[in-house]
Amino acid sequence: MSSTEGYTGDFPPGGGPDGGEAEASRAPHRVIGTPPPAEQRTLLGTSESDAPPAPPRELPADPDDLAGASRAEKIVAALFILAMLAGFGFIAAYIGLPLGASLDSVLRSNLALGISMGVAFMAMGVGAVIWVRRLMPDVELTEARKPLASPPEDREAFAETFREGAETSQFVKRPILRRSLIAATVPLLLAPLVLLRDLGPLPGTKLRHTVWRKGLRLVISDTGRPIRPADFGSPGGMITVIPEGYQTNDNALVKATAIIIKFEPGELKYPTNLKWTVDNIVAYSKICTHVGCPVALYEQTTHHILCPCHQSTFDATKGATVLFGPANRPLPQLPMGVDSEGYLVALSDFKVPVGPSFWERG
Amino acid sequence: MTSTNEAPAGAAGEGPVEKVLAGTGTFLDDRLHAAKSTRTLLKKVFPDHWTFLLGEIALYSFIILLLTGTFLTLFFKPSMTSLVYHGTYSRLDGVRMSEAYASTLNISFDVRGGLLMRQIHHWAADLFMAAIMAHMIRIFFTGAYRKPRELNWLIGITLFTLGMLEGLFGYSLPDDLLSGAGLRILEGVILGIPIVGTYISFFLFGGQFPGMDIIPRLYIIHVLLIPGLLLALITAHLFLMFHQKHTQMPGKGRTDKNVVGQPLYPYFMAKTGAFFFFVFGVLALLSALAQINPVWLYGPYNPVAMSAGSQPDFYMGMLEGALRIFPNWSWNLWGHTFAWNVLIPALVPLGLLFTGAALWPFLERWITGDQREHHVNDRPRNAATRTAIGIAVITWYGIMWLEGANDVIADHFQISLYTTTEIARYAVVIGPVIAYILTKRICLGLQRKDAATLLHGYETGIIQMRPNGEYVELHAPVPEEERAVLEARTTAPLPLEAGSDDDSGVPDPALRGPVGKLRLALNRVVTESVPLPVGNGHGTNGHGNGHGGNGHGSSVAGEPERAAVTSGEDGKTLLGRDSPEDPGEH
């Protein structure tokens, strides 16, 4: 960015060598720092009579390329008019494109509103940039930068005031006053923390248990249907099951959700607890032992259960032991049997806590 | 204000400008006594460089977030009360969901412009965080955090942290499947904290996850508490920037004692106004054309379901990657679980990043012993070690960030999922080391090239035969403007020996102990650089030791050197620092 020629620099009176020598060569660079004289009075332009002559201007009034500026003015005006039209377009789209029952009508309205809004803002932005770059004269000013540290005398004066205040307040001299004040603030700082106590109940042993209990049926999570071992035609995919009667209880499902998988005879191996399986069907907790995502993916050919969040992988044939990933513990196996009507039921709650590790888990 | 003199409008009382001055201007000044201070404000000079826009993008994204967010609060219901949906979006008809999710559907499908505002809000949040990161990277590599700007650097890091939290909480509010899963992961991470983890979790969620309280609680934190803090800190950030004046890039006539640029009024005002429109315009067009967070496709939160390929917003990706990458270490001791596999990735990488970033300016100042004020930015190559550290950290962050999307990468590039994680486990350790070494070599190479250019000028490609038959290639001298940039090593770190705390030149006795030896060793690493050619380099190098009172001036004081530099009519030179009559000082 180059400096513009053709106007007089305004240097503060008594500005030293900068003001004299450098003026000719660096006229456009005006050192701002000391205000020009008498600027107060002329500012509002009201008291003409007693005002000294106004200082010479610091910014040029017009750009060098006047013809170019006039062309640019037309372009800028066109852009601003485009912004205006787009703005009206936005209002028109709001009124004219009602939201119907279909997703299409919503997306159409979003497109029309967004594009008209975007075009309006972009036209304003482009117009303003052309305005600055083509219509305003290009200037470069230099402003002096003072060191941030205060002069020593200011610091000393401050220190004196501070000392005086400290002394006058008696705060330093009288230890009983000081210490009792500090003692008074301690409970006042603790009080807000105490207030937060009722944000929630204490954990107790809630994380150790789920709603599974002896005789509670496993039902398919989508349909709520109980399951008979005979319903499985052949070994296959993974089915998500939940305890019967808890379909709408998120707090219960977060821990109790389980998966069942049917295997070929002989596929299930140690450390799977075969006593808890029924007809080669095994049930595991669906809650990942890493940070608690539902382990939603199952690969039939390898019998791998995969958590989609952080890819902990569990071997479904071997008691859901960890094969890969950040999880440390196997998915707990749900003790499972059949009830008198032949439906799959839990024999008890999980024998170990499900889900992520926690301090008291042990 | 000066138009009484020259402007065609003529005398007072004519023209709109005069009317405003006489009317509103007089009215306000009669009551506020603001003429002088406002004039100083209007004339304030702002340096220009494209990277200075990065912070502005963040600022304007924040303003847009406030505007669109306010609109969204008019319709959003932060409630976890369960209901069965029978609204406009027929595909979810009859589905059980929370009131929060239902009202999000309502905003998207029943409020005109609601979907647009939601999408702008989300895009703006991503842009806000991206701009903060880019801004922070720029500040780091140019050394703009150095004295006197350390406080603003700390405020910036706090803003970054708060921005991450704000984004995470906002992302959780619609209570769709992905945001619910995000909260579930948050719960799992909190549970991993030793001793207090379960208590924090129960207090945050009002009992067991998910409970009925978390969304109303996150809501008030998201719309009041954190925005209030952000607003206050952004105000402080801008005030400090204003008060300390912006840094400038090295160039002709730019020193640590001046600011070169264009005045606030009318130039910077118009430019920054235009930039606000650009940011808003780009966000509006993005939101019109590029769908973001289509919560109606994910469905309401359902504790039994989860889909693959689910990534958080990009600024949480590093945390997600760290969780995926870390080995499954866990201890069971004294009846308690130490879940390192959760604890370390969740707390250590971000903790290191933010703590390291916060301490770095002070650590660097201690290592270099550099007590000077710096207002001219470093060129990244001129601080080879700092730049190398920065690139190493970006590499480290980037590998974890990529690993946060390793399932997508594995899918698109047909790599085994586990291979991506295995590679990332090694890369996250080796990558930063390689990045450090390479970057440092490249920076020093660039310094060498600059020194050679300064010494010999540019190769012109013209071969000339001397009268004695010798062939030489003609070198063109470096133009003044470029020379100023190449010589801008004013801010290069001083060797510690020379920069000891007194003027005797004798090394500080404190440097003899083990800590002092460590400091000296670090100093040698940090100050490693290629010297500029004698006669040019030293002139600018010595310039600027204003506040340390260090003994480095001896190499500068020589009059011939100064003459050599000033003879080029280089406005920069030593003028600002050495001339006692600097008007700014008085």
What per-residue confidence (pLDDT) applies to A23?
A: 39
Q: What is the mean pLDDT of residues B164-173?
A: 93
Beta-carbon separation of A250 and B205 below 8 A? no
Multiple choice CATH, A211-361, 3.40.50.970, 2.102.10.10, 2.60.220.30, 2.20.25.190: 2.102.10.10
Q: Of A42 and A334, which is predicted with more confidence?
A: A334
B121 touches B108 (CB < 8 A): no
Q: Which of B525, B448, B440, B548 is nearest to B489 (CA)?
A: B448
Are the C-beta atoms of B267 and A132 separated by less than 8 Å?
yes
More confident residue, A345 or B543: A345
Highest mean predicted confidence (pLDDT) among A262-266, B322-326, B333-337:
B322-326
Residue B31 sits in the same domain as residue B124: no
Instruction: Write down the pLDDT at residue A6.
Output: 37
Q: Which long-range contacts (CB under 8 A, 24 or more apart) does A4-10 make?
A: A4/A28, A4/A60, A4/A64, A4/A137, A4/A138, A4/A139, A6/A60, A6/A64, A7/A56, A7/A57, A7/A59, A7/A60, A8/A56, A8/A57, A9/A58, A10/A36, A10/A55, A10/A56, A10/A57, A10/A58
pLDDT, one tens digit per residue, over B221-243 is 999 999 999 999 999 999 999 89
pLDDT at res. A1: 39
* Beta strand pairing call for A141-144 and A31-32: parallel
Give CA B33 to chain center in angstroms. 37
CB A207 within 8 A of CB A358: yes
Mean pLDDT of the B411-425 span = 86
In chain B, the N- to C-terminal Cα span, in Å, equals: 26
Q: Half-sphere exposure of A195 toward its Cβ, with a 13 Å CA cutoff?
A: 6
The predicted pLDDT at position B505 comes to 57
CB-based contact, B434 to chain A, within 8 Å:
no
Enumerate the residues of chain B whose CB falls inside 8 A of the CB of residue A197: 203
Instruction: Decide if B16 is inside a domain.
Output: yes
- Minimum mean pLDDT among A149-163, B54-68, B252-266: which range? B252-266
**Distance in angstroms (rounded) separating the CA atoms of residues A186 and A195:** 15
Mean pLDDT of the region A231-244 = 83
CA distance, residue A112 to nearest chain B CA (Å): 8
Preceding amide of A13 cis, omega within 30? no
B87 and B126: one domain?
yes
Q: Is residue B380 part of a domain?
A: no
* pLDDT for B575: 32
- Whether A121 shows a pLDDT value over 90: the answer reads yes
Same domain assignment for residues B105 and B245: yes
Share of chain B above pLDDT 70, in %: 85
Q: Is the pLDDT of residue B430 over 50?
A: yes
DSSP letters spanning B130-153: HHHHHHHHHHHHTTTTSTT-HHHH
Q: Look at residue B490 in the predicted model and tell me its pLDDT.
A: 52
The span from the CA of B292 to the CA of B120, in Å, is 9
Chain A environment of B177 (Cβ under 8 Å): none
Among the listed residues B266, B17, B18, the one whose alpha carbon sits nearest the alpha carbon of residue A60:
B266
Question: B305 and A296 in contact by Cβ < 8 A?
Answer: yes
Sort out which chain B residues have CB atoms less than 8 A from A29's CB and list them.
253, 571
Question: Are B103 and B222 members of one domain?
Answer: yes
**Residues B539, B574: contact at Cβ < 8 Å?**
yes
Residue B312 has pLDDT above 80, yes or no: yes
CB contact under 8 A, B2 and A42: yes
Determine, for residues A33 and B583 on separate chains, whether the beta-carbon distance falls below 8 Å.
yes
Query: Looking at beta carbons, which residues of chain B come within 8 Å of A147?
Result: 373, 546-547, 585
Mean pLDDT over residues A54-68, rounded?
80
Residues on chain B touching A202 (C-beta within 8 angstroms): 199, 202
- The answer to whether B304 faces chain A, any CB pair under 8 Å, is yes
A115/B289 Cβ within 8 A: yes
Q: Which residues contact A121 (CB under 8 A, 6 or more apart)?
A: A83, B277, B278, B280, B281, B284
Q: Where are the alpha helices (DSSP H) in B414-570?
A: 417-456, 480-486, 514-526, 537-542, 559-566
For residue B259, give how far its alpha carbon lies from the nearest alpha carbon of chain A (Å). Answer: 5
Report how far residue B523's alpha carbon sits from residue B367's, in angstroms, rounded to the nearest whole number: 5
Query: Is residue B478's pLDDT more than 50?
Result: yes
Q: B520 and B511 in contact (C-beta within 8 Å)? A: yes
Is residue B132, in this structure, part of any structural domain at all?
A: yes
**One domain for residues B16 and B155:** no
Residue B395 lies in a domain: no
CA neighbor of B60 nearest in space, from B280, B375, B347: B280
CB-CB contact of B424 with B406 (8 Å): yes
3 state SS of B226: helix
- CB–CB of B311/B404 below 8 Å? yes
Q: Say which residue, B568 or B311, is predicted with more confidence.
A: B311
Q: Which residues pair with B260 in a beta bridge?
A: A142
Output the CA torsion sign for B305, B309, B313, B318.
positive
User: With contact defined as beta carbons under 8 Å apart, do B198 and A305 qualify?
Assistant: no
Burial profile B254-265: b = 16 or more Cβ within 10 angstroms, e = fewer: bbbbbbbbbbbe
Q: How many whole angstroms separate alpha carbon B347 and alpha carbon B513?
A: 34
Contact B295, B176 (CB under 8 A): yes
Inter-chain CB proximity A293 and B546 less than 8 Å: no
At B337 the pLDDT is 84
A contact test, residue of B64, B98, B191 with most A CBs within 10 A: B191
Q: Name the one residue in this structure whose structure tokens are 């340096």.
A: B47
Provide the pLDDT confidence category of residue A131 given band limits of 50, 70 and 90: very high
B9-23, B93-107, B343-357, B511-525: which has the minimum mean pLDDT? B9-23
Residue B265 at interface with chain A, using a CB cutoff of 8 Å: no
The predicted pLDDT at position B131 comes to: 96
User: Which of B304, B417, B480, B577 is best to mutate for the A interface (most A CBs within 10 A)?
Assistant: B304
So what's the pLDDT on residue B494? Answer: 57
Answer whether residue B496 shows pLDDT above 70: no
Residue B576 has a pLDDT of: 34
Residues on chain B touching A107 (C-beta within 8 angstroms): 115
Asked, for residue B127, whether it belongs to a domain, the answer is yes
Range of the domain at B230: 55-173+217-250+266-322
Q: Is residue B498 part of a domain?
A: no
Q: Residue A40 pLDDT > 50, yes or no?
A: no
Quick one: chain A helix, strand, coil %, rounded to 5? 40, 15, 45
For chain A, what are the domain ranges? 1-61, 66-142, 152-196, 211-361
Contacts of B1 in chain A (CB under 8 A): 39, 42-43, 45
Q: Nearest Cα to B354, choosing from B162, B123, B186?
A: B162
| One domain for residues B15 and B114 | no
**How remote is the C-alpha of B182 from its chain's centroid?**
26
Percent of chain B whose predicted confidence (pLDDT) is above 90? 45
SS3 A7: coil
Please give the Cα distance from B28 to B25 (Å, whole number). 5
Residue B271 burial (10 A CB sphere; 0-12, 13-18, 19+): buried
Q: Does A207 contact B119 at a Cβ distance shorter than 8 Å? A: no
Q: Say what the pLDDT of residue A51 is.
A: 59
Q: Is B501 on the interface with A (CB under 8 A)?
A: no
Domain count for chain B, please give it: 2
State the smallest CA–CA distance between residue A214 and chain B in angstroms.
22
Reported confidence tier of residue A41, pLDDT bands at 50, 70, 90: very low
- In what order do the strands lie in the sheet containing A313-315? A297-299, A304-306, A313-315, A321-324
Measure CB to CB from residue A356 to each of B245, B306, B342 and give the nearest one.
Answer: B342
Q: Is there a cis peptide before residue A36, judged by omega within 30 degrees of 0?
A: no
Residues of B with CB below 8 A from A240's CB?
304-305
Contact B149, B247 (CB under 8 A): yes
Q: Would you say the ipTM is above 0.95? A: no
Asked if residue B278 and residue B232 are part of one domain, the reply reads yes
Q: Which residues of B touch A106 (CB under 8 A)?
A: 108-109, 115
- Cβ–Cβ contacts within 10 Å for residue B291, how many? 14
CA atoms of A230 and A174, how far apart (whole Å): 87
Q: Is A287 helix (H, G, I), strand (E, B) or coil?
A: strand
What backbone torsions phi and psi does residue B84 show, to the nearest 5 degrees?
Answer: -105, 125
**According to the model, what pLDDT value does residue A74 have?**
94
In a domain, B424, yes or no: no
CA distance B353 to chain A (A): 22
B95 lies in the same domain as B160: yes
Residue B1 has pLDDT above 60, yes or no: no
Using the predicted structure, report yes or no on whether residue B370 has a pLDDT greater than 50.
Answer: yes
CA distances from A59 to A7, A71, A138, A325, B43 (A): 8, 22, 9, 66, 10
For chain B, say whether A101 makes contact (Cβ under 8 Å).
yes
- State how far the Cα of A144 lies from the Cα of B576, in Å rounded to an integer: 9
Asked if A147 and B112 come within 8 Å (Cβ–Cβ), the reply is no
Q: Domain check: are B229 and B134 in the same one? A: yes
pLDDT at B336: 84
Residue B503: pLDDT band (50, 70, 90) is low
pLDDT digits (tens, 9 = 90+) for A76-119: 999 999 999 999 999 999 999 888 878 888 999 999 999 999 99
Tell me the nearest-neighbour CA distance from A222 into chain B, angstroms. Answer: 10
Residue where the block lists tokens 């499902």: A253
Distance from the B296 Cα atom to the nearest Cα atom in chain A, whole angstroms: 10
Query: What's residue B383's pLDDT?
Result: 87
Average pLDDT for chain B:
83
Distances (CA, A) of A163 to A153, A155, A159, A172, B111: 15, 12, 6, 10, 62
Which is nearest to A283 in space by CA: A243, A328, A254?
A: A243
CB contacts of B584 in chain A (<8 Å) are: 31, 33, 144-146
pLDDT at position B435: 94
DSSP-derived secondary structure letter, A196: G
Residue with the bigger pLDDT between A7 and A286: it is A286
| Same domain as B13, residue B126 | no
pLDDT exceeds cutoff 90 at B101:
yes
Percentage of chain A surpassing pLDDT 90?
30
Over residues B397-411, the mean pLDDT reads 88
Question: What count of other Cβ atoms lies within 10 Å of the Cβ of residue B313?
Answer: 20
Contact A132 B213 (CB under 8 A): no
- DSSP characters over A229-283: GGG--SS--EEEEEETT-TT-HHHHHHH-EEEEE--TT---TTS-GGG-BTTEEE
Contact in structure between B115 and B289 (CB atoms under 8 Å): no
Interchain contact, B96 vs A122, CB within 8 Å = no
Mean pLDDT of B345-374: 90
CB of A177 within 8 Å of a chain B CB? The answer is no
For the cut 90, the answer to whether the pLDDT of residue B511 exceeds it is: no
The contacts found for B170-174 with CB under 8 angstroms, 24 or more apart, are B170/B121, B170/B125, B170/B222, B171/B293, B171/B312, B171/B313, B172/B214, B172/B215, B172/B218, B173/B76, B173/B78, B173/B100, B173/B104, B173/B215, B173/B218, B173/B219, B173/B222, B174/B100, B174/B101, B174/B104, B174/B293, B174/B295
Please count the CA atoms within 13 angstroms of the CA of B366 that sit on its side-chain side.
14
Chain B contact for A323, CB < 8 A?
no
DSSP state at residue B6: H
Which CATH number is B301's domain given? 1.20.810.10
Task: For B26-72, write each residue's pLDDT tens digit.
Answer: 999 999 999 999 998 998 999 999 999 999 999 999 999 999 999 99
DSSP annotation string for B436-479:
HHHHHHHHHHHHHHHHHHHHH-EEEEEEEE-TTS-EEEEEEPPP
Pairwise CA distance, residues A360 & B468, whole Å: 91
A40 touches chain B (CB under 8 A): yes
CB pairs under 8 A between A and B: 384
